[in-house]
Structure 1
Amino acid sequence: MRLSDFIVQHVDRIVDEWEKFAATLTPAADSMNRVELRDHAKSILLAAARDMNTAQTKAEQIAKSQGEETGKTPTLDQAAASHGELRHTVGFDLVQMTSEFRHLRATVIRFWVESLTSPEITYFTDMIRFNEAIDEALAESTAAYAERVTRSRDIFLAILGHDLRAPIQAIGMSSEILLRRAGMSDADLGYIKRIKSSSRHMATMVSDLLEFVRSRLGVTLPVVRKPMEMTLACREAIEAASAGSPDCDPVFITTGDTQGEWDRARIDQMLQNLIGNALQHGAATHKISVTLTGGDQYVSLAVHNDGEPIAQEAIGSIFDPLVRSINEEAGTHNPSTSLGLGLFIVKEVVNAHGGSITVTSNFGDGTTFTVVLPKKG
């Protein structure tokens, strides 16, 4: 009997074996009923059998073996993907889920071989097609499982970041109140200023984390454009950065008309991250400069710092999330407290405003990030 026909005739027997094995995958299986243990096993097997009976060219066979979409089986993919999602939901780990397919493959082959009386050359083709189908199902289940894991992690990070904002804000406000008290010693004032500065750093990191998670969950960065003065925003961002780094005095040069329509909160994020990046990674013995130039339809912002340049091989990934490619060995104004999200957030803000950002970095000239933003959307 051909393998596809065998699977159809003995599908319930095979699924019984699947159920017995799935029941051993504890602790998740301890709380699962019979239907949950069997899950999409029957659908996967019947879809695999239909796939095996479908004519396949040599090119399609090669394409399928390489994981390409050509020649894939939609019903098999759907059943396998649903299986991966549900196994994640009930608490199976990835090893347990993939072991189900290993056991299924072994069970089908064992039952089929035991039923054969004499081998035929066509059986080898059946074996190849069956293994292709199971590999395809395993790949789809694994991808769906991994996607659920990633989404669950992102949602957890979003909740964590959101809940952290309240205590961080309380720390900042409390330190502000304490700074206004009279009669405090210089040492006590120093401690409070350090608390305030640290809370500001934490707030920035949490904000960056939330923006990163939002992008991971497929939500575009929202912007609300209102008239604002970019020069004023730059001055305030530099002042805030200097408060956290009193030994640094950035040079600010502004020319032209810098009035436009932007989202002030997002622009503040962009400026804080760009200036903070320059302060953190610039040489400790050199100042940074911020140059703002206003034109008829655009403004151009350049943030420059001297010091160790960005490696050329890292330039292409400098705006990727969770990447910290700057040479940490160089002398810096500040130790690294970055999550590797600052420049990613900068890029997101620039894109949301329809602008562009470039970076140049080399020995002698230092590093310059240049942002060009249209004045209106």
Structure 2
Amino acid sequence: MLSCARHGFDINQLCAEYRALRAVVFRLWLDEGGAEPPALDDIVRFNEAIDQALTESVSFFSSQVDRSRNLLLGMLGHDMRSPLHTIQMTAHQLAKLDDGQQVSAAAARLIRSGARMQALLDDMLDFSRTKLGLGIRVAPAPVDVAALVADELEQLRVAHGTQSVELDVAGDTRALCDGRRIQQMLGNFVGNAIKYGEPTAAVEVTVTGGNGEISIAVRNRGPAIPPSVLRRVFEPLERGPGAETRPGSEDSLGLGLYIAREIAHAHGGEVAARSDESETVFTVRLPRGAGDVREDPPHQH
């Protein structure tokens, strides 16, 4: 069946092959039997065998098609990195030139567009890795999680202008984790809170160092997430109610919360969400120690 996928067959053509096989075998069976019809038990067993083979073939065929698709996305994303990096470097060089207001404004637009493209590309590559069973790469190192969170929130405040984002820290927040990934995870949670929360209410971020773990909670006011949506909120390509009409929706693939969950899992952690009429809270719990963290494998060239 793998050869069918390689030669461009689709699932309908695959099923048609089995229908043709069933019909041919029955015709030959009747021709061999002459006037005497085949035994009913034999017909039942033959149909069961064909149905089982068809089920297994469809499952295998679909898994191979999905794998090929994810490999293609991974290769495409990898090959896009170099030209995108060149665009971003050129934009930053233009921004440093003292060559008039128009050039500076154009460079700023290039930088913003490049950053959006980079975020979408990173999400696509992370999604492909998880679907291929490779998981999110992490490179753990000793860090202060509260300091990482404070730095990321400062950048988010600049990006989102007037939206208020508050930080509260308690306890020892030192841990062994991938700082860049923790900031990516937090950015996804806070970006989601800003997008769907009440614009006039502050987004509250709490970092707490506990016994053997660090917890991060992102809280926003606004409409409650419906239970049917909340149950699958961490699934890929899921977006909240009215997402298509919200500002910035064109920059989202609906992968942010899914990737945030996978980053937590890569660190041996867990995520949870709850929502009611008063607030929506996303919580991450991360182990403090090195033993529970999956390290980044060596890069291969």
SS at match of 2:39: helix
Partner of 2:294: none
- The reply to whether residue 197 of structure 1 matches residue 115 of structure 2 is no
Letter in 2 for 1:373: L
What is the deviation of 1:336? 4.6
The verdict on how the C-alpha distance between 1:333 and 1:111 changes in structure 2, with shifts beyond 3 A counting, is closer
Work out whether residues 282 and 333 of structure 1, in 8 Å CA contact, stay in contact via their aligned partners in 2: no
Which of 328, 343, 354 is 2:257 aligned to?
A: 343
For 1:243, the equivalent position in structure 2 comes to: 158
Residues 189 and 282 of structure 1: is their aligned pair in 2 closer, same or farther, counting only changes over 3 Å? farther
The unaligned stretches of length 5 or more in structure 2 are: 291-301
Matches within 5 A, 1:25-104: 84-104=1-21
What residue number does 2:137 align with?
A: 222
Tell me which residue corresponds to 1:369. 282
Query: Are 1:291 and 2:206 matched, yes or no?
Result: yes
Offset at 1:188? 4.7
**Consecutive aligned runs of 4 or more in structure 1 exceeding 4 Å deviation:** none
CA 356–251 in structure 1, closer or farther in 2 if over 3 Å, else same: same
Partners in 2 of 1:323 and 1:355 — Cα distance?
Answer: 21
CA contact (8 A) 1:283 1:333 kept: no
Assess, with a 3 A threshold, how the Cα gap between structure 1 residues 105 and 158 changes in structure 2: closer, same or farther: same
Deviation at 1:154, TM superposition (A): 0.6
3-state SS of the aligned residue for 1:261? strand
Q: C-alpha separation between the residues in 2 aligned to 1:171 and 1:235?
A: 29
Partner of 1:356: 270
Structure label with greater radius of gyration: 1
CA pair 220-127 structure 1, distance change in 2 beyond 3 A: same
Gaps of 5+ in 1: 1-83
CA distance in 1, matches of 2:164, 2:84: 27
In the alignment, does 2:43 pair up with 1:127? yes
Distance 1:285 1:336, change over 3 A: farther
The answer as to whether partners of 2:95 and 2:103 remain within 8 angstroms in 1 is no
Residue 160 of structure 1 corresponds to 76
Shift in CA distance, 173/324, structure 1 to aligned 2, threshold 3 Å: same
Deviation at 1:323, TM superposition (A): 1.2
Amino acid in structure 2 at the alignment position of 1:93? D
Paired AA for residue 268 in structure 2: G
* Distance in 2 of aligned mates of 1:97 and 1:182: 63
Q: Distance in 1 between matches of 2:241 and 2:220?
A: 13
Does the 8 Å contact 1:289/1:304 carry over to 2? yes
Aligned position for 2:229: 314
- Residues 240 and 165 of structure 1, relative CA distance in 2, 3 Å threshold: farther
Q: What per-residue deviation string (whole Å, max 9, x for no partner) do you get for residues 310-365 of structure 1? A: 111111111111111344278x56445211111111111111212222112122x2
- SS of corresponding position for 1:222: coil
Opposite residue 230 of structure 2, the aligned amino acid is I
Q: Percent identity?
A: 34
- Cα 1:175–1:271 shift into 2, 3 Å: same
The one of the two structures with greater contact order (alpha-carbon pairs below 8 A, sep at least 6) is 2
One-letter amino acid matched to 1:375: R
**1:206–1:179 CA distance, 2 compared to 1 (3 A):** same
Contact 1:228–1:260 under 8 Å retained in 2: yes
The number of equivalent residue pairs is: 290
238-247 or 159-168, larger mean C-alpha shift: 238-247
Shift of 1:189: 3.5
Q: Secondary structure at the match of 1:176?
A: helix
Equivalence for 2:32:
115
CA contact (8 A) 2:164 2:201 kept: no
Helix, strand or coil at the partner of 2:251: coil
TM-score (norm 2): 0.88
State the distance in 1 between where 2:162 and 2:100 align.
23
Give me the whole-angstrom Cα distance separating, in 2, the residues matched to 1:188 and 1:252.
36
Q: RMSD value over aligned CA atoms? A: 2.1
Structure 1 residue 194 displacement after superposition: 2.9
Q: Distance in 2 between matches of 1:189 and 1:250?
A: 29
The answer as to whether partners of 1:85 and 1:148 remain within 8 angstroms in 2 is yes
Which residue type is aligned with residue 81 of structure 2? R
- Letter paired with 1:294: G
Equivalence for 1:78: none
Q: Distance in 2 between matches of 1:244 and 1:196?
A: 12
